[in-house]
Amino acid sequence: MLPLSPDALRQQLRSFASRAQPVRILLTLGSLMAACAWTGHPDAVIPLFLGAIASALAETDDSWRGRLRAQLVTLGCFAAIAFAVEAAFGMPLLFIAGLALSAFCLTMLGAVEARYKAIAYATLILAMYATLGIENMGSHGVAHRGREPLLLVAGAAWYGVFSVLWCAAFPAQPVQARLVTLFTVLGNYVRFKASLFEPLRGIDIERKRLALAQLNAEVVTELNAAKESIFRRIGARAPTGRISRYRGLYLIAQDVHERASSSHDDYNALADAFFHSDLLYRCQRVLGLQGLACQRLAESVARREPFEVGPETVQALADLRSAIEHERARADTPARLALLASVEALARNLALLDGQLAGASQPSARAGRTEMGLFDRSPRSWRDAVERVRRQLTVRSPLFRHALRLSIALVAGYGVMQAIHPAQGYWILLTTLFVCQQSYGDTIARMGQRIAGTALGVVAGWALLQLFPQPLVQSVLAVVAGVLFFATRTTRYLLATASMTLLVLMCFNQVGDSGVLLVPRLVDTAIGSAIAGLAVLLVLPHWQARRINELAAAAMRGHAGYLRQIVVQYRTGARDHLDYRLARRNDHNADAALSTAVSDMFREPGYVRPRAGVALRFLIRSHTLLSYLSALGAHRAALPDSAQMAVLHASAEGAIAALEALAAGLEKGVVDVTDGAEAESAARAALAQATADGGESGSAGDPQARTFHTELGLIWLQIDALRTHAREWLQSEGSETTTAPA
């Protein structure tokens, strides 16, 4: 075997560092198992392992200082809940009342931010682990008061040591991993966007738009995750070194996303007009190459190598310009010239997008050309944190419903456990806690995976216990299972559940015969899953169909805010300042939330979504509107004052008012087309007159003004369609309310 070169060795080390949490778990569990074997206390393995696992579940991406502070808070919460469980363990009423109250309060704590959400969830899990450990020790005649809580906290603290040290040793690695994922997902989005430029008749553009909206939601999620990862490492300070470069790459990703998500005209109209031309195929080729460039950029970030765009896109852009000139020489009608002007605007946008990707080789150069501040979404003070929780204390809040539902489910599980007195009955509560999710679709999916994964783990555990009766081998298998759990828990939940079941069986076999757990583990898992499924179905079910109004209203307000910032910059000139980027990000976040809700709606029972097709059409139109806004944002430039620009600004202000009125109507449940109708009619009439006077002819005038004009016309068409779909949705809601049983 040939020795590794220095570059290959560095690459292997970086790859090793990127698998951060499973590696930390390997170090933690391996060292704990070795310590227990060396000291002759195998009975301490279970609480130490469970404490370490709970600590790892509380971990969020952070700097080493932030991770240290979070670890101290986590240990405080763990100690409080563990000792409270031990104190109340023999008093059923006190125990379940305390558990239910803790479940509600800790779940509501998730309203503050992701860090506290993870700590709160892990604290609940540790409470369940404490019950399992106390019950197991009691069944083996071991009863040292305070022992289980101390061992649980010790295991959590030991994992915390590795976590903090890892964050200090590899401070930029999580940001690097986030950017790799971001540019990979962005590349997938850009390549799929290229498929819209096929000049073929009969293509279902609406279906492609829907798929694009779903891909856009993935990009938005990764943009948010990358931004938070960067911000946690710089705070209010100016970043240096690799973090500075990564911040530049993140801002480039934002700009590429805006340009890639833009649409310059109706795709069906373009396909009809240029059906016998290769013009759209050339657009498709350029965009496809740029999608590949995004993915190559992801690879260069992963390898920490310089990025080069390559000459292919430059040549493809030159070929596209040549094809446009050829089409211009043949265009003989105003309508064809207008569509050709849209293709020219697209070509300018693609050229600028290529420039953004070329700048990725030196993203720090952006510092002199744009404001690079990031918006801090974390709570500013304790008062702000309390206010965030207070705003969620309403029955309309999905988080409040989930908190109450989880508390009731745990009470029901405890009641079933007391009624049937099963062996190892606290697995029922633990299963309920893991399976009961905020949405119906996630709960049902996890319910099936949990049962199947437990069955797989039980079968694998039984077989391995028969094959390897040696305690040392079983210890190694327990550590491997723990590593596998954290390597798969976010991507393959069934396999993760099987791994955790295997870990538990191997650990319990260190202090007794875990064969007695095989059947109870299966039965208790089935009972706990059934309770979680019934809870999400019967206890304050929060169907996505009932949230569409507020999410659609938020999307309309996001569109209005984004358009308002764009219009300002057509007066003052393009500046990527924080207010503009924040409006753009808020709009994309609202669009992604609506897309996710509509997707989740189709995983719910059919009787709660009789008009889901209307919501689907609304989502498509909303995302199409966002793509036209992105095109306006991509072409921002200061335009000189003129009568035409006054008309365009008035039309844009009318569109903003119409979007805000539509948002208000969705919130109230009534879309009133007469509200502001006179001002809107005047704005539309002026825009139509400008069109009749040649504003879209494509033969004269400022190209930026033509693009502004074209996009405003397309935006108004989407507003009309959105109003129609909103009225359909609200009418269907009204009829359901009238006919629904009390």
Task: Specify whether 259 is located in the same domain as 126.
Answer: no
Contact 632, 522 (CB under 8 A): no
Contact 109, 424 (CB under 8 A): no
Task: Specify whether 468 is located in the same domain as 573.
Answer: no
316-368: pLDDT as tens digits: 888 888 888 887 877 777 777 778 888 888 888 888 888 888 887 775 545 44
- Say how many domains are in the chain: 4
pLDDT at site 697: 41
pLDDT at site 159: 94
Task: Specify whether 318 is located in the same domain as 452.
Answer: no
- Is the alpha carbon torsion for 585, 587, 591, 596 positive or negative? positive
Kindly write down the DSSP assignment for every residue of 187-204, as one continuous string: HHHHHHHHGGG---TT--
End-to-end CA distance of the chain: 74
Nearest-5° Cα angle at 636, 273 to 239:
130
- Rounded Cα distance between 151 and 334, Å, is 79
pLDDT at site 504: 86
- Within a domain: residue 389? no
Residues in the chain where the model's pLDDT stays below 70: 1-19, 137-144, 201-202, 235-241, 363-376, 422-423, 511-516, 672-679, 689-701, 732-742
pTM of the model: 0.87
Containing structural domain, residue 590: 550-736
- Rounded Cα distance between 42 and 475, Å, is 10
Nearest-5° Cα angle at 707, 704 to 708:
85
- Rounded Cα distance between 571 and 573, Å, is 6
Domain harbouring 184, CATH code: 1.20.58
Which of 516, 542, 568 represents a domain boundary (last residue)? 542
- Rounded Cα distance between 190 and 181, Å, is 14
What is the chain's percent helix, strand, coil content, to nearest 5?
80, 0, 20
Residue 564, classified by CB atoms within 10 Å of its CB into exposed (0-12), middle (13-18) or buried (19+), is middle
Contact 133, 55 (CB under 8 A): no
pLDDT at site 515: 65
- Within a domain: residue 16? yes
- Within a domain: residue 3? no
Task: Specify whether 216 is located in the same domain as 249.
Answer: yes
Q: Which of 661, 687, 689, 688 is nearest to 674 (CA)?
A: 661
Task: Specify whether 576 is located in the same domain as 636.
Answer: yes
- Rounded Cα distance between 633 and 564, Å, is 11
Contact 81, 102 (CB under 8 A): yes
